[in-house]
Amino acid sequence: MAEGEIIKNPSINKLKKALATLNNNNFFLTLNGPKGFMQVSFSKKGLDIQYKNETGHFTGEDFISKEKATSIFIDYIQNTTGWKNKCQWKPFEY
């Protein structure tokens, strides 16, 4: 998390709590894994979500709610198929 907290092997409950704390001071959360990462960052317009894996680096086409981000992160951490379908994605431009 932006404030430096690291949670090893987060449970679903810890992940939910961490996402709920996103704000102007604690503005991003990154979930790292062996095949890439999922990240969300806070803004006044909503949350910006990104993921990177062996196929590339992608970002959401629109800002999303904390509820939607939580749903995507839970599916991602549980390796549930279909998590990508919960958001419209486009290639991330550096």
Report yes or no on 5 lying in a domain: no
Report yes or no on 4 lying in a domain: no
Report yes or no on 6 lying in a domain: no
The pTM for the full model equals 0.90
Q: What is the DSSP string of 21-38?
A: T-SSSS-EEEEEETTEEE
Report yes or no on 1 lying in a domain: no
Q: What is the mean pLDDT of each run of 10 residues along the chain (94 residues)?
A: 86 92 93 91 95 96 96 92 94 88
What sign has the CA pseudo-torsion 17, 7, 44, 37?
negative
pLDDT in the model for residue 9: 86
pLDDT in the model for residue 51: 97
Number of domains in the chain: 1
Report yes or no on 71 lying in a domain: yes
pLDDT in the model for residue 49: 97
Report yes or no on 7 lying in a domain: no
Look up the domain containing 22 and give its range.
12-91
Report yes or no on 16 lying in a domain: yes
Report yes or no on 78 lying in a domain: yes
pLDDT in the model for residue 33: 83
| 3-class DSSP state of 7 | coil
